Structures are given as C-alpha cells and as structure tokens.
Amino acid sequence: MQRAIYMDWNATAPVRPVAARAVLRALEEVGNPSSVHGFGRAARKLMEEARSALAAQIGAKVENIVFTAGGTEANALALASRGARRLIVSAIEHDSVLKPAVDAPVIQVDRNGVIDLDHLRFRLEQDAAPALVSLMLANNETGVIQPVAEAAAIAHAHGALLHCDAAQAIGRIAVDLSALGADYLTLSGHKFGAPQGVGALVTNGAPISALVVGGGQERRRRAGTENVPAIAGFGAALAAIDTTAAAEVAVLRNMLEARLLDFDPATTVFGREARRLPNTLSFSAGTKSAETLVMALDLAGIAVSAGSACSSGKVKPSHVVTAMGFDAAKAGTAIRVSLGETNTEADLNAFMAAWMKIQTVPSMNQIQPAA
C-alpha cells in the first residue's frame, strides 16, 4: 500500500516523539499542581519547567505566561483583556479573532497579503479612544509574515496596545517578544509538535482579565486545574525545535513552487513577493474548487488543506485571499500546502504526479484512490 503523505503541517504538526514521551511521563504523576504535598510539587515542577522553556524561547518573563487550552482560547483571553479599549483587527486574522470582532474596524492588506501600515494609522486616528490592535505574525493560509514591530510602534504612538497571534511562527521563524513589541502574544502547541489542546498567552506586563474564574490557577488569570501532561509535552516540543530544519524545508517549498509554475505558468502563488514562512505555499490554478482538489489529493494519498483547518471540516472560499483583492472565484480554488521536517523530495514528486493528473482529468470520477 502506498504511504500516505502529510502536507498539512499548518493545520497541526505531528507530535514530536520527545513530546509524546514527556506526556506519558507526566501521566504517571498523580499530584495536582496546586497541592502543597510532594506529589503536587512534582506535578508543578513539570509545568514550571515548560513555562521556563517558553520564557527562554521567546524572551519573556515566566510570570507573564498563562497556559491555555490552545491558540483560540489564548486569542479570546487577549481580546477579553482589553477592557474598555476598542478593537481593531487586520483583514487576514484567524476566525478566532475575527468572529468576536464582527463590528471592529478592519485594517486592509495589499495584494501580497501584507498589512497596510498607513491604513492602520488611519484606523487609529479615526477615534481617539484607546484601542487594542490584533495582528498575526504569520498568516496560517499564505504564510505571509507581517511587520508586527512596525505596527506595534504605530499602535504605541497612538496609545494603543497590540496583540499578536504567533501560532504559526515558532519553530519556523524567530519569535522574540521584545523585538516584536507586542503587548500580548498567542501561541499554540500543536503547531510545533506539542499535543493538541495546549497553548499560551504571553504578555510583557499588560493586564489579563480572566475568562474562566473559580480558582487561583495561573495567578488567578485562568481558573481550573492545569493540563500538566499537555503542558509538559509543550515544553519538551519547544526544547526539541531544530533551528536548521526550517531552511531545509524552505528548499522543498521553493522546489514545489517552481515545479507548479513550470507545469502551469498561470498558477497564482499567493504572497509570492512577500516574506513568507519557509514551509507554506498557498496557490490557485484552474477552475476546480478547493474542496474538489483537497478531496482528489486525499484520494491520491496526499493530505493538504484549503485555508484554515478550524471549521469542522468545512471548505469555504478563503477570506484571506479575498482580503488580498482576489475575486471569490479565485478564492474558491485556493489550496494550501504546508511542509515539515519529515517531508522529502519524493513527497514532492508524488504530489506533482497527482496534481498533474487532477488538473488534466475532467471529473473526480476519473481519479482513483491510491493503491
């Protein structure tokens, strides 16, 4: 049977073996990390080791890290902590930011998906009331990296705070809280090889208003017994990040991009002229819908996605692509390939063989499942 090929790392990265082992070890501990006896202290030690690993990775203070159940909760916590501040969001944010911000002013992006800093200034100057600006570090669909440090400087000059969703960034590009100038930073463990269901909100001292109350956990900023096994896996995955792997993955991504353009020069690569994550390739070619393409590639044994993977399996036109100025038809054919450390050139060969076949057959009925 043909080996299935995974090219959807931005949806979730495979759990690193060292992280899985850390989870298993933590599951053998019996203590509640809030208990003062030896069992509780042992559990808390695992959790605080992970907190220290994260602090060291991004240049944060341990006391400014709140563990959450993932990136969505961390985003919600950041937005809820703005108090009376009005909210301003970029047009390309993840749905976990856009859905709670239905009436918020939106910052435009250019054709490459990069935020328009002049439009950010305009939005801030429209209303003198204090604001919270939400701008992701790297887009989950296109991989386009945003000028967060410049946006933070503009926000601060207007008395605003800046929240940065950096879920896709760690392990792929450098993430430094001070260099970014962000007041809030969102992280998600399963994007870099930790288990699903664990994330963090990090601040530089900005206030946090608890969404979940009832206990004193996480310095009273997030009540409820912490998920010690997942947090231990989070810390182990951070420590296992290989900084050289991103460059090797970039070689594969660039190779695949070149092959797609060689096959069909009319292919649109979204954000091609912008700085992007080294592993991400979002593109559109032909008229087949994204849903059809994802299903056809799956039948060929290759896993990719159409934009965000946070919609319960639904495939819909990309709001990111439309925000970049492309029409709904183009957005409806956009798919995302996101690579990782275990992908090989052989995977690219298999993808291209399947892609060329899909593009040349008239219907899904002529696409056979992988043997």
Catalytic positions are: 310
The pairing of beta strand 302-303 with beta strand 280-284: unpaired
Sign of the torsion angle spanned by Cα atoms 136, 199, 100, 77:
negative
Which residues face 336 on adjacent strands?
282, 305
- Cβ-contact 356, 286 below 8 angstroms: no
The three-state (H, E, C) secondary structure of 183-220, written as one string? CEEEEEHHHCCCCCCCEEEEECCCCCCCCCCCCCHHHH
Q: If you ran DSSP here, which 8-state letter would residue 304 be given?
A: -
Tokens 């049977």 sit at which residue?
1
Distances, alpha carbon 356 to alpha carbons 6, 38, 347, in Å: 18, 61, 14
Distance CA 325, CA 317 (A): 13
- Cβ-contact 282, 143 below 8 angstroms: yes
